[in-house]
Amino acid sequence: MQSKDKILVVGGYGQVGRVICKDLGNKFPGNVVAVGRNYDKAEQFTRTTNGKVIPLEFDVFADNNNNNILEEISVVVMCLDLNDTRFIEQCIDKGIHYVDISASYSFLSKIMSLDEKAKASGSTIILSVGLSPGLTNLLVQYSKTQFDVLHRSDIFVLLGLGEEHGKAAIEWMVDNMHTTFEVSENGYKKQVKSLEDGKATLFSENFGNRIAYRFNFAEQHFLPVTLDIKRVSHRICFDSRLVTQSLAAFRKLGILNLLKLKPLRNAAVKMFENIQFGSDAYVIKVDSSGKKDDKITEFKCSVIGRNQSEATGKVAAVITESIYIKKHPSGVYHIEQIFNSSDIIDRLSEHIKFHTYDK
Ligand SMILES: NC(=O)c1ccc[n+]([C@@H]2O[C@H](COP(=O)([O-])OP(=O)(O)OC[C@H]3O[C@@H](n4cnc5c(N)ncnc54)[C@H](OP(=O)(O)O)[C@@H]3O)[C@@H](O)[C@H]2O)c1
pLDDT tens digit string along 241-261?
Answer: 999 999 999 999 999 999 999
Looking at the DSSP bridge assignments, the partners of residue 306 are 281
From the CA of 167, give the closest atom in ligand 1.
20
Q: How far is CA 30 from CA 20, 52, 136, in A?
A: 14, 5, 32
Ligand 1 atom 35 nearest Cα: 36
C-alpha closest to that of 87 among 69, 105, 295: 69
From the CA of 16, give the closest atom in ligand 1.
16
Residue 116 exposed, middle or buried by CB count within 10 Å (0-12, 13-18, 19+): exposed
Using most ligand atoms within 8 A of CB, pick from 9, 58, 79, 269 the residue to mutate for ligand 1.
Answer: 79
- Kindly indicate the confidence band of residue 235, based on its pLDDT and cuts at 50, 70 and 90: very high
Distance 11 CA to ligand 1 centre (A): 5
d(CA 46, CA 51): 6
3-state secondary structure of 225: helix
Determine contact, residues 142/342, Cβ cutoff 8 Å.
yes
Determine contact, residues 355/305, Cβ cutoff 8 Å.
no
Write the CB contacts of 233 (distance below 8 Å, at least 6 apart in sequence).
152, 153, 154, 155, 183, 199, 214, 220
Distance 171 CA to ligand 1 centre (A): 10
Please give the CATH superfamily to which domain 131-307 belongs: Dihydrodipicolinate Reductase; domain 2 (3.30.360.10)
Query: For the chain, what is the mean pLDDT?
Result: 95
Q: What is the DSSP letter of 218?
A: T
**Domain locations along the chain:** 6-130+310-352, 131-307
Average pLDDT over residues 325-332: 97
Torsion angles phi and psi, residue 140, rounded to 5: -65, -40
Residue 14 in contact with ligand 1 by CB distance below 6 A = yes
174 vs 63, higher pLDDT: 174
Average pLDDT over residues 268-275: 91
Predicted local confidence at residue 275, as pLDDT: 81
Is residue 187 over pLDDT 90? no
Predicted local confidence at residue 69, as pLDDT: 87
Is residue 82 over pLDDT 80? yes
Same topology, domains 6-130+310-352 and 131-307? Answer is no
Torsion angles phi and psi, residue 71, rounded to 5: -60, -25
Predicted local confidence at residue 19, as pLDDT: 98
Distance 172 CA to ligand 1 centre (A): 10
Q: How far is CA 9 from CA 15, 93, 97, 354, in A?
A: 12, 18, 12, 28
Is residue 185 over pLDDT 70? yes
Residue 168 in contact with ligand 1 by CB distance below 6 A = yes
Sign of CA dihedral 47, 53, 59, 60: negative
The crossing angle, in degrees rounded to 10, of helices 219-226 and 136-144 is 30
From the CA of 41, give the closest atom in ligand 1.
40
Distance 312 CA to ligand 1 centre (A): 12
- Kindly indicate the confidence band of residue 2, based on its pLDDT and cuts at 50, 70 and 90: low
Q: How far is CA 142 from CA 90, 113, 195, 224, 356, in A?
A: 35, 27, 27, 14, 11
d(CA 307, CA 100): 19
Average pLDDT over residues 137-143: 98
Ligand 1 atom 14 nearest Cα: 166
Is residue 184 over pLDDT 90? no
What is the distance of C-alpha 127 from the center of its chain? 8
Model confidence pLDDT, tens digit, residues 26-79: 999 999 999 999 999 999 999 999 999 999 999 999 876 666 889 999 999 999
Predicted local confidence at residue 65, as pLDDT: 65
Residue 38 in contact with ligand 1 by CB distance below 6 A = yes
Predicted local confidence at residue 297, as pLDDT: 97
Write the CB contacts of 230 (distance below 8 Å, at least 6 apart in sequence).
151, 152, 185, 186, 187, 224
Is residue 317 over pLDDT 90? yes
Query: Yes or no: is domain 6-130+310-352 CATH 3.40.50.720?
Result: yes
Predicted local confidence at residue 67, as pLDDT: 66
Residue 130 in contact with ligand 1 by CB distance below 6 A = yes
Q: How are strands ordered across the β-sheet holding 32-36?
A: 53-57, 32-36, 6-10, 73-78, 97-100, 124-127, 331-334
Distance 200 CA to ligand 1 centre (A): 31
Is residue 137 over pLDDT 80? yes
Determine contact, residues 235/212, Cβ cutoff 8 Å.
yes
Distance 170 CA to ligand 1 centre (A): 10
d(CA 117, CA 205): 48
Q: Is the backbone peptide bond immediately before 133 cis, with ω within 30 degrees of 0? A: yes
Q: What is the DSSP letter of 70?
A: G
Average pLDDT over residues 224-232: 95
From the CA of 132, give the closest atom in ligand 1.
3
Distance 293 CA to ligand 1 centre (A): 45
Average pLDDT over residues 97-122: 97
Residue 108 in contact with ligand 1 by CB distance below 6 A = no
Residue 17 in contact with ligand 1 by CB distance below 6 A = yes
